[in-house]
Amino acid sequence: MKENTLKLLGFLTVISAWHVSSLFIPLPPPHLVAIKFLEILYYPEPVLGRNLTQHAVSSILRVVSGSLIAFMVAIPLGIVIGWNNKLDSYFTAMIEVFRPIPPLAWIPLAYIFFSVLSNPVQFAQVFIVFVGAFFPCVLSVREFAKSTDRNLIEMAKVFGAGDRDILVKVVIPNSIPGILSGVRIGLGVGWMSIVAAEMLASSGSGLGYFIMVMYEVGGRVEEIISGIIAIGIIGFLMNEILLRVERRLLRWR
C-alpha cells in the first residue's frame, strides 16, 4: 500500500473516531467544526474582531522572530563547541543545566524582565520562542560538529590546512545535517512554546490568545477546536517544508 494512501487512511480514522465520540460526549461533530473553521478563517470573529488567519500570522511572526535569533546564536555556538574540546567543556555544564527547564517555566520571569520595555508582552513571547528553539538547535549542531571524521581532519592537516581551514572546509560541511535537523526541531518547539505563551498573557492576538478567549467567553468549542486545528496545520506545514529542504540539500547522503 502506498504511503499517501496510508496517510489518508490515518486521517480518515481520526475523523471517524472524532465523529463517533461526538455522539457520546459534548463535542461538536467534524462537519460543524469544518464550517466554523472556514467561516472564521476569512471573516472576523465577533468577540476579538479578527479572523483566524490574522491570529495565525501574529503567532507565526513571533515564532520566526524568536527562532531566527535563536538560530543565529545556536548554529555558530554549536559548531565552535563541537570543534573545540575546551570550549565544549566550558559551555556544556551551562547548557545541560538550562536545557531541561521547559520554555514555559521562563514565562513569569520573562514578563518581569521585559516589563521595563514599551511592549513587554511581545518581547517576552519572542524570548520564550528563543529559549524553545535554541537548545534543540545548539545540541544538534554540536553533536554533528563533534562527530566529524578524525581521518578527514588528519588528512587536511597533512595537506597543510590550518585550524581555520579545517573548521570552514571540514567541520562546518559535516555539521550541515545537524544544522538542518536542529532548525526543524527548534522551530517545532518554538511553535509549541509561543502558543502556550499566548495563552498565559494578553497579547491581543495569536492562536493561543484566540483559544483562551474563546474558552473564557463561554466555552465556544467549535472556535476552540478550529484554533487547535490551525495550530496543527501550520506546525505540519512548517515541518514538511523543512523536511523537503533537508532532503534536497542532503541528497548527496
Average pLDDT over residues 117-127: 83
Contacts of 176 (CB under 8 A, 6+ apart): 144, 249, 250
Question: Tell me, what's the pLDDT at 176?
Answer: 87
Asked if residues 127 and 109 have their Cβ atoms less than 8 Å apart, the reply is no
Average pLDDT over residues 22-44: 87
Question: Tell me, what's the pLDDT at 15?
Answer: 87
Question: Tell me, what's the pLDDT at 7?
Answer: 78
Q: Is 119 left (phi over 0), alpha (psi -120 to 50) or beta?
A: beta
pLDDT over 80 at 179, yes or no: yes
pLDDT band at 1 (very low <50, low <70, confident <90, very high): low
Q: pTM of the entire structure?
A: 0.86
Q: What digits encode the pLDDT tens for the residues 35-75?
A: 989 988 888 877 778 889 999 999 999 999 999 999 999 99
Average pLDDT over residues 207-236: 89
Average pLDDT over residues 179-186: 92
Q: What digits encode the pLDDT tens for the residues 218-230?
A: 778 899 999 999 9
Question: Tell me, what's the pLDDT at 253?
Answer: 58
Question: Tell me, what's the pLDDT at 226?
Answer: 92
d(C-alpha 107, C-alpha 196), whole Å: 10
d(C-alpha 151, C-alpha 189), whole Å: 35
pLDDT band at 248 (very low <50, low <70, confident <90, very high): confident
Residue with the larger pLDDT of the pair 106 and 168 = 106
Mean pLDDT, the chain, whole residue set: 85
d(C-alpha 149, C-alpha 217), whole Å: 59
d(C-alpha 112, C-alpha 120), whole Å: 8
Q: Determine the CATH number of domain 29-148+176-249.
A: 1.10.3720.10
Question: Tell me, what's the pLDDT at 56?
Answer: 93
Average pLDDT over residues 107-134: 86
Residue with the larger pLDDT of the pair 196 and 189 = 189
pLDDT band at 182 (very low <50, low <70, confident <90, very high): very high
Question: Tell me, what's the pLDDT at 228?
Answer: 92
d(C-alpha 43, C-alpha 28), whole Å: 21
pLDDT over 80 at 80, yes or no: yes
pLDDT over 80 at 153, yes or no: no
| Range with the largest mean pLDDT of 77-86, 128-137, 161-170, 200-209 | 128-137
Residue with the larger pLDDT of the pair 183 and 2 = 183
